[in-house]
Structure 1
Amino acid sequence: MVNSGTALPPIVVKVGTSILRGDHQRDTETVIAELARVLSRCWRQGRPVVLVSSGAVGLGSRRLGDTRRPRELSQQQVAAAVGQGLLMASYDKAFGVYGQLVAQVLLTRGDFVSRHRYRNATDTLRGLLVRRVLPVVNENDALATDELRFGDNDTLAARVAVAVAAERLILLTDVDRLYSADPRRDMQASPIHEVRNRAELLSLTQAAEPGGQWGTGGMTTKLAAARIATAGGITVDLADGRTIAVLEGLLQGGNGGTRFQPDALPIPIRKRWLAHGVLPQGRLHLDQGAVKAIEQHGASLLSAGITVVEGSFSSHEAVCLHGPDGEEIARGISRHSSEVVNRIRGLSRNQVTPLLGQPNAACVVHRDSLVLTRSPNATV
C-alpha cells in the first residue's frame, strides 16, 4: 500500500484516445478539464489517483496536419514526440486550476521486463504518490521499439495498477460495458454486468473489434488487462468514458459498466513482476509428474521432469513451463542456460550432481522464482 498521507490505496484510471479526442459536443480540452476536476477532487478527499493516458500520437498527428493515425512505427514515434508535450501541457494547465501537481511518467515494456528497472519505475510512481503528485503515465511511443512496446495502454494500466498495489483499475472506453458479442453488429448481444471470477473471465469468448482509426485497444486488450489486474487482487471496472458522470459515480463507490471481481487468492506481491512483467526467453516442456508436483505440491522444477527445451536463454533468464498438452502452467527464472538444461533434462538428482559438480544443480527453477499461470489460485 502506498503511504501518501492516507490509509487509502490508489485508484488507477485509464483513458484512451477515443475518449480524449471527444466529439462534437466535447472537445479534447473539455474532456481533460472534466478529468482534472474529478480526479483532483479524489486527491482532496484523500484518495490517491494514477492516470494512464493515451492521446500523444493522435494529438501529434493533428498538429502535424495528418488526417489519419500513421501506421509505420517511425511515423508514430514522430507524432508521439510532438504530441506528448501537447498532452502534458493540457493536463498541467487543467489540473493547475485545482492546485493539483502532475508528473509525466513514460514507460516501455522494458521497464517491466528488467527486475531492476521495474523496481525503479515502481519506486518513482510510489514516490510521486507520497508527495501527493498525480502521475500521468503513457507508453514512451517516441522511443519504444516493436519488441518493447505494450501496443496498448490497457495492458500498461494493468501493470501500473499492480506496481502501485492499487485497489481498483478503471478502464474508460467508448462502450458502456462488456457484451457477449459486438452490440454494434449483433442485435442479440447481451450485456455482462459482472465477471465474478477467473474461470468466468477466461471462458469469455467476446469477439473483440480491432482498434479504430485513432485507437489501438479493443475489447481483447481490456480483457487481457482485467486478467492481469484481477490476478493481483485488483477490482477492475470497464465503463463508458464519454460521460464524466460515469467516472464520478465509480469514484464515489458506484458500480457502472462491467465489474471484474479480483481473485480470491491473488498472486503474492513478490511474484507479480514474474507473472506479468518478464518476457520469457524459452520454453521447458514437462512430464505430468513434474506438472503435478509444481501445481499441487508447490515443488521446484527438477531436471528429471523436463522433456523438451525450446529456445536459447542464459542462466537467470525467464522461461515458460508447459505441460504434456502444450498448455503453459507456470513461469520462472531458470538457474541454468538452455545449453545446460538440455544436458541434464530427464536426469535424476544423483546423475546431475556429479555431471555438473554442484550440489542442488538438478533444481532448474526454484519454487521461490516460479509462479503458476494456469491456476487461478496460484500462490506458490
Structure 2
Amino acid sequence: MKIRAISARAVDCGFQKQALQTTRVASPMSRFPRFAEARASWMWPSKKTFVRVEADNGFVGWGCTNGGEITEMIVNSHLARLFEGEAADAAQIHAQATASLLPNDRSGFAMMAVAALDIALWDLQAKAQGKALVDLLGGSELETLPVYMTTGRPEAFAGGGWQGLKAAAPYGPESGDEGLAENVALMRRFAEAAGPDQPIMIDAFLSWDADYTLRFAEACKDLPLAWIEDPIPPQDVEGLRKIRREMDPGIALALGNFAFSYADAADLLRSGTVGVLQPDIAWAGGITETLRILALAEAVDTEVILHNSCEQPWALAMAAACQSKARVECVDRGESSPLYSLLAPRADIANGQVAVPRQISGFAPPHFVSAAFEAAPEPSKGG
C-alpha cells in the first residue's frame, strides 16, 4: 500500500469560543495585564488541522492536531512532498519525518504536524486491515476506562463516579494574596462537589513559580489535592526539583502536556519530579512516538494519563490496548461542542466510565471539515 496524496486543512472548530478560552484562566501570559483575562486574547493559532492521507488502494486515513495554519503549512509544504508515492509505513515515515524537521525544531508545532500525519497513517493501516485501531494496537478486553473530569462547573459532576475533578487555576502570582485565596476557595468548592475522599486536581498552565506553588500546596493541606499540573515551565528543572523536595509528598506533580516528543518526556522523567506524565498524542508526535513514551514511563514506574483523551479516539484506543491500569481525561466543553466529535462519534461516557472505541470503519471528519478539503485549492508543495 503506497501513499497517493497527503493534504492538510486548518479548520475553525470553535476552540476560541470555549469557556476555558473566554473566562479567566491563568496562563504564561497572565503577568501581562492586557492578556490576563482570557486565553483567547493571545492563544496560538487555534484552528484544528486535519490531515488526509489517500492510499493507492482507495483507503483514506485521517489525523488531527492543533496549530492551525502553522501545522497545515508544515504538512502541505514539507511532509507531503517527502512521502507521496512512498509505502504507507507509519514507523518508517515517522522516523524520516522527525529527522527531516530536526535541524529546525524537535518540538512544538513540528511534532504536532508529525503527529497528525502519524495518526492518519495508523488509521489508514487499520482500515486496510479491517480492524479497529484498538485491535491493531494489540487489543483489549476492557469495555470501559475510568475518567477524570476537567471542568469549570464542578457541581454539574457531583457524585458521578469520576476518578477526580480538575480545575483550571484562574490566578497566578501576579494577583497576589487575594488571587491565591481565590484559587484555594475554588479548590474547596471542588472538594465539596467531588465528595468525601474523592481526589481533586488543579492545572496551573505554566503560570506559577516554585514559591507560589509551595504556598498554594500548603494552603490546601486539609484538602484531598491529588496533583498540581504544569505549575511552572518544564525547562525550569531546578524549580521543579525545589517544588518536589519541599511540597507534601502526597501531592503529585502532573507534567508533560507540553512534552512534544520522547526526548521532552525523557528530560522530564530524568528530573525525578514527575508523579503523573500527561503527554498529548496529537501534540507529541502521534501514536508511534507515544508508544515509545509509554514504554519509557513504564520502565521508571510512572503513571501516564493521556491528555484530553476523550476528544481523541486514538487516545482511548491506546489507553485500552497499551496501558494496564489506564485512566483518562475528559474536558468539559458544555452540553455540546464540535470538539467532542471531530473524527469519531462523541465518546460514550456514563457513571465516570468511557466506552473503548471499536469502530472498524476508523476515523471520518464531519461534513464541515470534508467541505473545507473540497473547497480549498490544492495545496502547493514546497521545494
Common fold by TM > 0.5: no
The structure with the largest alpha-carbon Rg is 1
Q: Which structure exhibits the higher relative contact order, with contacts defined as CA atoms closer than 8 Å and separated by 6 or more residues?
A: 2
